Amino acid sequence: MRILLWHVHGSWTTAFVQGPHTYVVPVTPDRGPDGLGRARTWDWPDSVVEVPPERLRDEEIDVVVLQRPHELALVDRWLGRRPPLVYLEHNAPDGNVPDTRHPAAEIPGVTLVHVTHFNRLMWDTGNTPATVIEHGIVDPGHLWTGELPRAAVVVNEPLRRGRTVGTDLLPAFARAAPLDVFGMKTEGLADHLGVPDGHCRSHELGQRDLHTAMARRRLYLHPVRWTSLGLSLLEAMHLGMPVVALATTEVTEAVPPGAGVVSNQIDVLQDAVRDFVADPLHARMVGEGARAAALAHYGLSRFLDDWERLLKEVAR
């Protein structure tokens, strides 16, 4: 099949394009949000092809994967027709939860796909057919060394996103162990939080360097209150990192007993951070449990098989 989708979430798309199809991604001269083209920081196969919007009418497209509400108008304008539609929802709802109406509920003939069962539960999708295809990860390998007695945190724009991603909780965790916060626009975070630089360092790295850097830290800390299930959490588990996380959204499903400590009690989580930092052998054993759980539940082959079944059904 030839599948049209926009390059919106690089990590998710990296897994999706490992399938057996041709993946058409729009590209514009400015490589803006609606024409980003191929990824430059992830390894994508040659089956991902860039096509300018003005040439899309001449392309054979079997299925369109929408990810944002305005993309349907782009389909109408750029293709002049509507192939079978899938709407992939990456996020948990905002606004008047649990009464937030999903935009795909208004699109005739669309199949809505959520990435977590929690998201499906919380979105109001009306009578629109909805299903769940959980995340899959391209396995980065068991890279954990834990040589640095610090906690890794991965979050983009923590200053703007604030309480949603648990930025306000970082000073409490920095008292349990020094933090390394990886992500876009993390500079100045320590000053903003009033935490000494050595207790909260900011880093912005590419994907390959990020995995190696994360794996040198003793544990992975996930202080997020309200987002969809972060791929960085699943990547950390694949790396063999023990996890300390808030028990919110889908985390309790993703991190089973033996893979880390999940709680909404901050003192319990602080103690877990201290324990992992103080006991590298314990951290290693729990990290191995985290990796085994991630491979079993969020492996790439299961993810691709789930999508293959859905795409064939939708294309028919």
The pLDDT of residue 95 is 84
Predicted confidence at residue 16, as pLDDT, reads 97
Q: Within 13 Å and on the Cβ side, how many CA atoms surround 13?
A: 27
What pLDDT does 43 receive? 81
261-274 pLDDT, tens digit per residue, is 999 999 999 999 99
CB burial readout 106-144, b (16+ within 10 A) else e? ebeebbbbbbbebbbebbebeebebeebbbbbbebeebb
Q: What is the pLDDT of residue 3?
A: 98
| CA–CA gap between residue 67 and residue 34 (Å, rounded) | 11
Angle value at C-alpha 53, between 57 and 70, nearest 5 degrees: 100
The reported pTM is 0.93
pLDDT value for 156? 93
CB burial of residue 85 (10 Å; 0-12, 13-18, 19+): buried
CA 232 to CA 193: how far, in whole Å?
A: 23
The CA distances from residue 18 to 47, 165, 170, 226, 301, in Å, are: 9, 29, 36, 29, 10
Residue-level pLDDT at 206: 81
List Cβ neighbours of 180 (8 Å cut-off, separation of 6 or more). Answer: 148, 150, 151, 152, 153, 201, 203, 213, 217
CB 140 within 8 A of CB 234: no
Q: In angstroms, what CA-CA distances link 153 with 136, 159, 270?
A: 20, 14, 14
- pLDDT of amino acid 184: 93
pLDDT of residue 211: 95
Tell me the per-residue pLDDT of 18-68, one tens digit each, with 9 for 90 and over: 999 999 999 999 999 999 999 887 789 999 999 999 999 999 999 999 999
Nearest CA among 157, 25, 38 for reference residue 78: 25
Structure tokens at 200: 């909260």
User: In 121-252, which ranges are E strands?
Assistant: 130-132, 148-154, 179-182, 200-203, 217-222, 243-246
CA 301 to mean position of chain CA atoms: 17
Residue 261 has what pLDDT?
98
Whether residue 26 contacts residue 54, with contact meaning beta carbons closer than 8 Å, is answered with no
CB 282 within 8 A of CB 217: no
d(CA 154, CA 232): 6
CA distance 208 to 37: 20
CA proximity to 235, closest of 304, 155, 138, 165? 138
Residues 6 or more apart whose CB falls under 8 angstroms from that of 209 comprise none
Rounded Cα distance, 276 and 284, in Å: 9
The pLDDT, as a whole number, for residue 42 is: 77
Backbone angles phi, psi at 218, to 5 degrees: -70, -35
Which residues of the chain fall short of a pLDDT of 50?
A: none
Predicted local distance difference test score (pLDDT) of residue 17: 97
